[in-house]
A = this chain, B = another copy of it.
Amino acid sequence: METIQAAECLAALGHQSRLEIFRLLVQAGPDGINASLIGEALGLAPATCSFHLAHLTRVGLISARQESRFIYYSTDFAAMDDLIAFLTANCCHGKACLPKTAAVNTVAIEPAIKH
């Protein structure tokens, strides 16, 4: 991953609403959730929510899938892996200086919204 691309992803996540959207989508899992539910869950106006979803989509961190009348958004886990790998490799001295990260367990996260 290039530096410019990494900076764009980081900037995309560097906004509270977008970071919350992203976390919500992680919790939702691969099926994702639709735009209305996201906006409702986070208290965002439809236009604002759409704006942030477009931003996250543009940098490749999430993707959209149309199903019936709804558009389901879900995280692109590979993109997140790329980003975290970039940070680990370039913004650190490798895994050796990440004790807290190493302590993170692989846990099943409960979905915040049933759908």
Q: How far is the CB of A53 from chain B (nearest CB, A)?
A: 16
Bound together, the chains give a CA A22 to CA B106 distance in angstroms of 29
Question: Do the beta carbons of B98 and A84 come within 8 Å of each other?
Answer: yes
Interface of A is mostly: helix
Q: Does A68 contact B (CB under 8 A)?
A: no
A11, B3: Cβ atoms closer than 8 Å: no
| Nearest CB in chain B: distance from A74 CB, A | 12
Q: Check if A40 is an interface residue, CB within 8 A of chain B.
A: no
Residues of B within 8 Å of A104, CB to CB, are 85, 88-89, 94-95
* B16 touching A3, Cβ below 8 Å: yes
Interface-side segment among A31-39, A44-52, A75-83: A75-83
Over the window 77-115 of chain A, the binary record of Cβ atoms lying under 8 Å from chain B Cβ atoms (1 yes, 0 no) is 100111111011111111111111101111111000000
* Chain A interface residues (CB < 8 Å from chain B): 3-4, 6-16, 19-20, 22-23, 26, 75, 77, 80-85, 87-101, 103-109
